[in-house]
Structure 1
Amino acid sequence: MELGIIGVGRMGSAIAAGLIERRIFSPGELLVFDLDRERARAFSAAYGPAAAASAADLVRGCRSVLLAVKPQDRSAALEPIGAIGIEGPLISILAGVPTSALESIRPGLRVIRVMPNLGVRVGAGLSFYCAGRNGRESDRVLAARIFGGLGEAFEIDESLMNAVTALSGSGPAYFFRLMEIMAGFGRAAGLAPEVAAKLASRTALAAALLARDGDPAALRGEVTSRGGTTEAAFRVLEEGNLSGLFESALAAAVKRGRELAEGR
């Protein structure tokens, strides 16, 4: 097989499904495995790729491996890679795990570290990748093919990975929380739940589309009339130190990424 995917949970399944749906790989070019065997079988039945009986079988049968497990499950997933080896690269989306830690499991192992976000589920992902010391240009091309096909992908220096994890990897959750708050306020104000939910999501979508080719600060200024409702709302937000609070939250996410890299 061309690519084996270890882990078909939320992110792994989103990547694997996207690769098939967008015809980046055919089902016959993929092999999947999950510690939850039923999850792997269900994915296989829904999308067509074969499910391996074990991680070792997947490693033996695939040129390259994409690792999409939870950090606490990585030892079981990495053991057969270290013991058996693979011809192509190991592509890891494990948050906070540096390329050097993965390279240490087998001499000469080629590693590509990637931080995608949940947007890959709808072909609007933003992914950042970096190669380890043994990485080849062909490995970078493969990463760009996989994640660029699910949105956009950019190569960065590994020293920036914790920052993009805080901003982009975790980023969708920040916007989801804001939508939750807005929808909750709408319900409390008397809107039907489905109307409140659509109000929040469609407003967020419109703002994102406008900001894609525009300056967010300038766009905010277009909405904020002097003495108007938006200005009143922002006065409260700034009195509550919104900017400082958000910067602290992002710094906490970066710090946690460093801790994960240290095995904490």
Structure 2
Amino acid sequence: MQRVGIIGYGNMGSSIAQRVKNQYKVYVFDRDKNITSGLKDIEVLPSLKDLTVQAQIVILAVKPQDLDAVLNEIKDYAQGKTIISVAAGMPTAYIEKALGNVKTIRAMPNMGARIGKSVTCLSKGAFASEEEFLYARELFNLLGATRNINEDLMNAVTAVSGSGPAYYFDMIEARPREYKNQPRKFLRDFIHLLTEAAKSAGFDYREAKTLSTLTGNCAEALLSETGLPPIQLIKQIASKGGTTEAALEVLHRGGSLKEAVGAALKRAQDLSRKEF
């Protein structure tokens, strides 16, 4: 059984851990010990060093602003490991430079991971093999659908499918009666709008439609399967200073979904590190 270590046990880290723990030996580390107490079938380790040494695959499920500190702590133990980052806007080349040319894969799941309905796009760094990339995709298949994407489009992925469920929930909050009366039409209309926004972010029509359909269906499944109100699901997706927050600010000012996706894309690009 392969050993997977997850750094960060927030909404995404915990969703990944819970979905893969039956197929992998899972270790987790989070600086907030309260959120990792009492876990079942998951081993909580006391330090980043312990996790990196024990795991074969290390998943970086931390916010972009916290990534540098994590990389600095694990760099002496990362050689020979497969590093998978789900941090928005952070290129594989940045992680490779920080850790010393390690095998790195970038993944962008969304909150559908919680219920096995995620849309996860993956891209391979310079030093990961095709076999290691296949292993990573098999792992994320446990969370839902997966897509291979050129890394040049990963910021657009973040803006479309990563943040996308929050756009759907926000539209429901703004037009609850319309959603209640015609939920199927509401979903179809959202998928059409998101497809057009995805095209403007750089996807061709086929990929834009596929990502948007998967994202819309994922969002609707989250509503029905969690039973949580849209506003609560939005709070679980949006983080302060993140891509989703940037998009929602545009929507709340009366902007279009295309403009909101553009704002999320710009924020993802701003988070990206250029100094390689």
Q: TM-score, normalised by structure 1?
A: 0.73
Deviation of 1:81 (Å): 2.3
- Aligned ranges 1:222-261 → 2 under 5 Å: 245-261=256-272
2:183 to 203, 207, 210: 203
CA RMSD, 1 decimal = 2.9
| CA-to-aligned-CA distance 1:94-118 (integer Å, 9 cap, x gap) | 0000001000112230100011111
Residue segments in structure 1 that go unaligned for 5+ positions in a row: 187-195, 217-242
Q: Distance in 2 between matches of 1:204 and 1:141?
A: 35
Q: Distance in 2 between matches of 1:204 and 1:78?
A: 44
Deviation of 1:71 (Å): 1.5
Aligned to 1:24: 23
Q: Distance in 1 between matches of 2:35 and 2:71?
A: 20
Contact 1:126 1:153 in 2 (8 A): yes
Percent identical residues: 35
1:129 to 108, 111, 122: 122
Aligned to 2:155: 162
Contact 2:110 2:161 in 1 (8 A): yes
Contact 1:115 1:169 in 2 (8 A): yes
Deviation of 1:56 (Å): 0.9
> Matched residue pairs, number?
215
Contact 1:59 1:80 in 2 (8 A): no
Residue segments in structure 2 that go unaligned for 5+ positions in a row: 192-208, 214-253
Deviation of 1:171 (Å): 0.2
Aligned to 2:12: 11
Query: Structure with the greater relative contact order (CA < 8 A, sep ≥ 6): 1 or 2?
Result: 2
Q: Distance in 2 between matches of 1:121 and 1:64?
A: 20
1:82 to 71, 75, 83: 75
- Aligned ranges 1:44-193 → 2 under 5 Å: 44=39, 47-183=40-176, 185=177
Q: Distance in 2 between matches of 1:36 and 1:117?
A: 22
- Secondary structure of the corresponding residue to residue 83 of structure 1: coil
Q: Distance in 2 between matches of 1:113 and 1:205?
A: 34
Q: Distance in 2 between matches of 1:261 and 1:91?
A: 16
Q: What amino acid is aligned across from residue 265 of structure 2 in structure 1?
A: V
Q: TM-score, normalised by structure 2?
A: 0.70
- Secondary structure of the corresponding residue to residue 123 of structure 2: strand
- Greater C-alpha Rg: 1
Q: Distance in 1 between matches of 2:61 and 2:185?
A: 28
